[in-house]
Amino acid sequence: MSETAFPINDLLRRKLSTGLTVISLTTCVASTLFLLLFSGQIGLGIASTQLNTLTRGLSMVFGQFLLFVGVLIFAVGAVIVSFIVYLMMAQRTKDFGLMKATGCPNSLVFGYFMTELLGTTLVGCILGTLVGLGTDYLVISMPIFDAYSKAPNLWFAPLVFATFFAFALIFGAKPVLEAARMSPIKALSPLQYFGLGKGAAFKPLSRTGLTLRVASRSLFRRKAATLRIVVFLSVAFLLLTVSIAGGIIANDTSTFWLQKGMGTNIVLVAQNDMATQYTQLLRSFSGATYNAAFNYSDLKLALSPAILQELGQINGVTTVDARLVWKGTVQEVSGWRIDPGTLATINVGADRSTNSLVVGLNPDTLVTTPLTDGTFLNSTSDYYAVVGDSISRTIYAPFYARGAYGNELHEADPLLENARILGRTFKIVGVCIDPINNGNVTYVSLQTLENITGISNPNIALIKVEASADINAILNQMQTHLKTFSPDLTAVSLNGAFEENTHFLSSLWGVVMFLPAFALAAAALCLVSYLMLTIDEQHQEFAILRATGAKPRTVVGILAAQSVTVLLSGFAVGISLGTIITLLILTKIPVVSTFTILAISAWLLAALLSMFLISLYPAVKFARKPLLKIMS
Amino acid sequence: MQSTEKPVVISAVQLCKAYQMEDTEVEVLKNIDLTVHEGQFVAIYGPSGAGKTTLLNMISGIDKPTAGKIVVYDKSLAEQNEDVLAEYRCNQVGFVFQSYNLVSTLTVAENIAFPMEWKRATSQEIQKRVAELIETLGLKHRANHFPAQLSGGEQQRVAFARALANNPPLLLADEPTGNLDTKNGERIIQILQTLKAEGKTIIVSTHDADIMPLADLKFFLEDGNLATAQ
């Protein structure tokens, strides 16, 4: 028997076992590669197609989310691959013993089985890579993903192939090495594989819960295999929890941020062109364009105090928030901090600049207060400023600059720095998330902006209308009043722009949420493969149970109970870790309502139930087999 | 010889079994006619591959014939569904397999007990019956050991105990002494003798000449053909 003939024949003759192992490996490698490629493409798609949308802070939320999901997908794949090959090679332990008992030298036994391992994993990994690439091509070609169909990062293919191949070899070689070192008698003993010791004193099984007890006993006595599947399921459920809970919470949270920044039941009053420009600036969050050369200093845009006073007297109007919208250069003014260790003064920031929308407002009459890190402006904030998150992540972001040791990373923190506008320095007191102009906005007090720009009147008014009031009736009333001042003045509800932005945000999360669906499908496929392998491994025992009078449904019951036990164990661990990661790492200041919790619970329970139902398939299929076929 | 007045337990008429092996069909059993009465001890012998195990599989309801009829305890086995056959195997037949077929993850006591679980016996009943069988078959010191920790003779005795757990009226034993040494073989023959004395119907496939004197009926099976032997 040649050194290659034996392994090839052995693999070919164990058609079912070899087939299942190759299918499991292929499924796992393919699903991991596909999910990585797909999430990368979605991430790239969002980053590039949405370059002129969202705000930089929100893009970061998407980026972080996809990165984390990618890492978890990789972890799930690695765990299942190592598990599958371990299971396959552990089944060969008895054969090692047999070969050694018949005089086969250690090196040859090792060679035979390493060749088998190498052949199986190579075929599985190659097929998996090809299937993964093909699936990604097919899915991303679907019309729904048109906007995100960026070229895939093909480096993932060799990365997944090499890592999983290495994992498979390392974990598969472990039982081969152990068996090669084992004495033949030990390798031949089933004790070796099952790890059995002396049993506990006999106690008959109770009439009730018989199936469960047989199942739990079987799981307990196959500790190594059970532990591995629980680890796999824990990571799979962790991935699902992070994807589902993270996705839903992040969606709710980002929608809440949007609501804080835009408000509801707000009416914009301005000159016609200014009203269009301001609405477009708000809608730029969802990709709308605006006039970049708009002249905000035009005197005809001014709203007189008389107009504002009259609007405030309309029934149903609660607040009139007059603002001056202007565009100009905002320059970074570096700050400093004391190093607590050395008590030395450290420079923070540099002197970068950017074009920003500058909005002057009266802190006493705010109708919207965007979510702010730090504090928003208050009535005494003469030369204080709040910058939008996109400004914060451009001119106030840490940067590299040449130093004594080459390129060095320099720290920057808007809350320790200042901003210069038209030669005046403003102390930055907060960083806010505001959809207007994609977060490229700086808020200062109205009085100060009027002073430094020389524009004496606000050019827009945001008017808060009571929630119970009929907004259309109030709009009509406003239009009538405004026409008495100027035919160019208009009043428009901002509810439309708000809905457009929230819809855009939800649709982005909707695309991202395809990932958990694919991840669930991949996990289910891997679970079915695992169950088929374990059923194959336990088939002799089930045959004995059937031969001594157990009904097919009893066998299904035992397998179902085993499946439920491992599923619930994995579910508990995965959900707990997933919740912690979601709330502590992925989504800071999360918005979690009762509805959010119900939605997440429903999704996760549906996932658990589907996994359970899918896991029944191999059990039912097995139970339907004729008894003699199982026994032979 | 047993009285033929006793009711018929097994009746096989023109029983055939063929397996499809790739392109060729292998006929394992050819038009077998067999009648066994209650309490009879039947020995079937013949060379390896003659079809002895297949015949026992037919009688136990593990396998179904390709042609002909087999009726055991008034049940035409070929026409029954898996649930009915499972109940039949549980309550009316005890099967001692050639290769013992013990569940490796269950202890000796548990291996004996589990067929009683299918019958939904109470804990007390199970405990009592297992203790009785363990005592009778000399396995008391091995009750909590796993099959892999037992000798071949001990495993065979566990297989007998398991087959007898539900006290079935029909016992099938496939080469019960085939893998055993003389001493262990004698022990098994003693067990068979006791069971015969208890009035059980027993069918044994064997090569062992020492079992033959126990038999009321002897059949020779060769190339799928069954012939009555002297």
What does the pLDDT look like over A132-190, one tens digit per residue?
899 888 877 877 666 666 678 888 899 889 988 888 888 778 777 776 776 665 565 55
Nearest CA in chain A to B89: A549
Q: Determine the pLDDT at residue A97.
A: 64
pTM above 0.90, yes or no: no
Nearest CA in chain A to B100: A544
Task: State pLDDT tens for residues B107-124.
Answer: 899 889 878 877 778 888
Rounded distance, CA A521 to CA A128, Å?
15
Test the A interface: residue of B66, B103, B125, B132 with most A CBs within 10 Å: B103
Task: State pLDDT tens for residues A473-483.
Answer: 999 999 999 99
Cβ within 8 Å, pair B87-A549 = yes
pLDDT band at A586; cut points 50, 70, 90: low
Burial of B218 (0-12, 13-18, 19+ CB in 10 A): middle
A545 interface with B at CB cutoff 8 Å: yes
Residue of higher predicted confidence among A404 and B124: B124
Q: How far is CA A43 from the centre of its chain?
A: 10
Test the A interface: residue of B17, B104, B170 with most A CBs within 10 Å: B104
Q: Determine the pLDDT at residue B203.
A: 96
Mean pLDDT of the region B130-159: 89
Calculate what percentage of chain B has a pLDDT beyond 70: 97
Rounded distance, CA A197 to CA A70, Å?
42
Q: Which of A201-205, A360-364, A460-464 is the least confident region? A: A201-205
Amino acid identity of residue A295, one-letter, is: N
pLDDT at residue B99 greater than cutoff 70 = yes
Cβ within 8 Å, pair B115-A548 = yes
Cβ within 8 Å, pair B113-A202 = yes
Tokens (6 digits) for B26: 């292998």
A428 membership: H or E segment, kind and range = strand A424-433
- Burial annotation A291-324 (CB, 10 A radius, 16+ → b, else e): eeebebeeeebbbeeebbebbeebebbeebbbbb
- Burial annotation B102-119 (CB, 10 A radius, 16+ → b, else e): bbbbbbbbbbbbbbbbbe
Cβ within 8 Å, pair B118-A551 = yes
Contact in structure between A119 and A127 (CB atoms under 8 Å):
no
pLDDT band at A120; cut points 50, 70, 90: confident
Tokens (6 digits) for A85: 């090959």
Mean pLDDT of the region B27-46: 93
Task: State pLDDT tens for residues A60-79.
Answer: 766 777 777 777 777 777 77
pLDDT at residue A216 greater than cutoff 80 = no
- Considering CB atoms only, which of B62, B145, B166 is closest to A198? B145
Alpha helices in A53-155 (DSSP H): 56-90, 93-101, 106-140
Nearest CA in chain B to A210: B117
Nearest-neighbour CA in chain A from B123: distance (Å): 5
Q: Determine the pLDDT at residue B3.
A: 47
Cβ within 8 Å, pair B107-A218 = no
Chain A residues with CB-CB distance to B64 below 8 A: 626
Could you tell me if the ipTM is greater than 0.90? Answer: no
Q: Mean pLDDT score of chain A, rounded to an integer?
A: 80
Nearest CA in chain B to A545: B115
CB pairs under 8 A between A and B: 118
Nearest-neighbour CA in chain B from A562: distance (Å): 15
